[in-house]
């Protein structure tokens, strides 16, 4: 994507305003907490799958 840094900063600023947060760290924490809320107890955790040892996949 050929986007200027300023364009990205403007979009992030609007996202921060709508969510009433102050920075990217808070945004990441919010995304993780919401992701955990939407994972059903019997579903595999997507983050756990990313950390899975490739050798144990078979």
At 42, is the secondary structure helix, strand, or coil? coil
pLDDT tens per residue, range 1-43: 899 999 999 999 999 999 999 999 999 999 999 888 776 566 5
Q: Name which of 33, 31, 13 is nearest 22 in CA terms.
A: 13
Q: Which two tokens stand for residue 49?
A: 């799958």
Q: Model pTM?
A: 0.55
Q: Residue 47 has what pLDDT? A: 57
Rounded average pLDDT over 46-58: 55
User: Measuring CA to CA, which residue among 3, 27, 4 is closest to residue 14?
Assistant: 27
Sign (positive/negative) of CA torsion 46, 38, 25, 27? positive
Q: What is the pLDDT of residue 37?
A: 77
């Amino acid at each position: 994507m050929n986007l200027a840094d300023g364009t990205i900063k403007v979009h992030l600023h609007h996202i921060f305003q709508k969510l009433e947060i102050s920075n990217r760290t808070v945004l990441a924490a919010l995304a993780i907490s919401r992701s955990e809320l939407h994972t059903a107890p019997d579903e595999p955790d997507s983050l756990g799958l990313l950390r899975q040892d490739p050798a144990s996949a078979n």
